[in-house]
A and B are shown apart, each in its own frame.
Chain A
Amino acid sequence: MSGEQIEIQIIASLVAVTCAIPGVFLVLRRMAMMSDAISHAILLGIVLAFFAIHDISSPLLIIGAALSGVLTVSIVELLNKTKLVKEDAAIGLVFPVLFSIGVILIARYAWSIHLDVHAVLLGELAFAPFDRLTVGGFDLGPKSLYVMGTILLINLIFILLFYKELKISTFDAGLAAALGFSPGLIHYGLMGLVSVTAVGAFDAVGSILVVALMVTPPAAAYLLTDKLSYMIILSAVIGVVSAISGFWLAILLDANIAGSMATMAGLVFLIVFLFAPDRGIVAIARRRSRQRWEFAGKMLAIHLLNHEGTPDEKRESQVEHLEENLCWKEGFANKVIKYAESKGILIHDRGMLRLTGYGREYAMKSVTDEST
């Protein structure tokens, strides 16, 4: 591994962790699409700030961009409040307008500088190691390492200080307000954080990957844990895994690094979505199928119990009449009988079914359980 490759992976991992932190709260607040809006709309802020100070590397650009992110959120909320536009439509209305004004301004007045639309959307992580921070002739490493490191620090401090406030205002904004925690303030604090994160990450990886890293890892982590703190940590881990594996995928395919990382994030999500231990699709399907057999076994046991000692007992417990009596599909009855036998619920004796002692108890218990 070359020095540049290591640096790229470190930067990408930093971006992933930095995005995961506010991303968790966006996903829990059902505001995932706000990351899309903010990460695009900040372009306008960057361009306007550049016009004001004429320095593409000034940190003031980040502030300008962050302000435009917060402005986007406010416009969306204002539109939504009129009740003439729904929130998702408002998001879709606002950010393309702001973004395209930014694009036009670049094309018209700033085409000579390093702001090009392609890099805005996909970033160019491969160039990140070439823009270095040097102090007194000493090479201290790529600049974006420091930019992202600082933003990560800001995010960490914010989350450590306001964890409790973020948690309560996300879970129950009404109670948060009643207890004197201003949910509006926390909301805008979080939006400011998303904006600053998007600006920093945007320079390194472009706006598409910002969205991918803010939404995908938290969405995957949500399926894996029941605890907010674990969800944040897991999101960070999933983000880093996507970033590093995405980097190697890009090398393998000779493709854009940011695009490969977003692809890997999607792939990781797909794996979690399918195989998460409790909430994955496979686990759900397994549970359903088990419940289906259990339920059929119960039905059969209750059926036998109901007819025990009645004149038509003989007919009702005949295997060949079972499908007809219970209106079951052909072949299903035999499978249920096998299942029930394996569980010790009944005994299959020359075409006749008999409940075991356990089976009788099981049937009675099932009846009372269902009725409570």
Chain B
Amino acid sequence: MKYAIEVEDLTVAYKEKPVLWDVDLNVPEGVLMSIVGPNGAGKTTLIKAMLGLVNTAAGRVSIYGKPYSKQRSLVGYVPQRGSVDWDFPTSVGDVVMMGRYGALGWLKRPGKREVELSLRALEKVGMAKYADRQISQLSGGQQQRVFLARALVQDAKIYLMDEPFQGVDATTERAIVTLLQELRAAGKTVVVVHHDLQTVPEYFDWTALLNVRLIASGPVDTVFTEENLRLTYGGRVSFIKHNGHNTDSDQEKRAEAGGI
């Protein structure tokens, strides 16, 4: 099997407190993978480590066999929506265009081609008519779509997304899921930090369960078991895998509370 991302013996610590303990994780090419785990499990840190954004205490990450710094153009990144200041004086089109900055490199300025590509990416997320809108006027769901468009415009092979479903309405969630599945159908590898256990089997075909250590990773069918969830969420989870689409938020909350 060809791996898009290989994480070997990765340990990340803040001071002496480990956030990720010796994580080994292989992400095969072309999967749509979720990373789940309780708060403080190191999900965001894992994504940031893949992107070289945090210092690692040990271990390495390879993107198609090479370090990330040599493969930047292959990876699109969608940070958490709350990580930026949405009152920044700029327009939707401009934010999306930032996705092209990497391909442009230092000093080169964006031109007509970049404007065209940004518009096309906005069309894909249904936001084309918002291109000139000031970003502070967007709703949470629209902000998330803009961030997705910004990653799409990178035209990457791997997409790393940090909680793209957070705080979006049901319509946007559906639109994002459709988009993710289209990306997979186009042969892209998509890794998503995800919070809602109920939707894991429906949305994803691959998953990793994380709680500082990697509990398990693999196809959702074989890995997303009650046993593994109990190991991940600290034994207090009473989540039943095959309960269809009935969202039992109580169980989910208990699952959250079970974490650290």
A161 to B105, CA, bound (A): 12
A24 to B247, CA, bound (A): 47
Are A228 and B106 closer than 8 Å at their CB atoms? no
Neighbouring A residues of B88 by C-beta, 8 Å? 28, 170-171, 228
- Taking a contact as CB atoms closer than 8 A, the residue among B72, B104, B134 that contacts A164 in the complex is B104
Are B89 and A175 closer than 8 Å at their CB atoms? no
Q: Is B243 in the interface zone, CB < 8 Å from A?
A: no
A167 to B89, CA, bound (A): 10
Are B91 and A172 closer than 8 Å at their CB atoms? no
Of A93-101, A143-151, A176-184, A201-209, the one with at least 4 CB within 8 A of chain B: A176-184
Shortest Cβ gap from A250 to chain B (Å): 32
Q: Is B102 in the interface zone, CB < 8 Å from A?
A: yes
Are B72 and A227 closer than 8 Å at their CB atoms? no
A222 to B88, CA, bound (A): 9
Are A178 and B51 closer than 8 Å at their CB atoms? yes
Are A177 and B89 closer than 8 Å at their CB atoms? no
Q: C-beta contact mask, A18-35 vs B, less than 8 Å → 1, else 0?
A: 000000000010000000
Q: Is A168 in the interface zone, CB < 8 Å from B?
A: yes
Neighbouring B residues of A168 by C-beta, 8 Å? 98, 101
- Taking a contact as CB atoms closer than 8 A, the residue among A171, A181, A230 that contacts B84 in the complex is A171
Interface of A is mostly: helix
A226 to B75, CA, bound (A): 30
- Taking a contact as CB atoms closer than 8 A, the residue among B83, B102, B109, B134 that contacts A172 in the complex is B83
- Taking a contact as CB atoms closer than 8 A, the residue among A164, A167, A178, A226 that contacts B53 in the complex is A178
Neighbouring A residues of B109 by C-beta, 8 Å? 163-164
- Taking a contact as CB atoms closer than 8 A, the residue among A161, A164, A165, A175 that contacts B77 in the complex is A175
Query: Which of B52, B69, B106 has the largest count of A CB atoms less than 10 A from its CB?
Result: B106
Neighbouring A residues of B89 by C-beta, 8 Å? 28, 222, 225-228, 230-231
Given contacts A225-B89, A226-B89, contact A179 B84 (CB under 8 A): no
- What are 29 A-B interface contacts by the 8 Å CB criterion? A28-B85, A28-B88, A28-B89, A165-B101, A167-B90, A167-B94, A167-B98, A170-B88, A171-B88, A172-B98, A174-B53, A174-B83, A176-B101, A178-B52, A178-B53, A178-B77, A178-B102, A179-B72, A179-B102, A180-B72, A180-B102, A180-B105, A225-B89, A226-B90, A226-B91, A226-B136, A227-B90, A228-B88, A228-B90
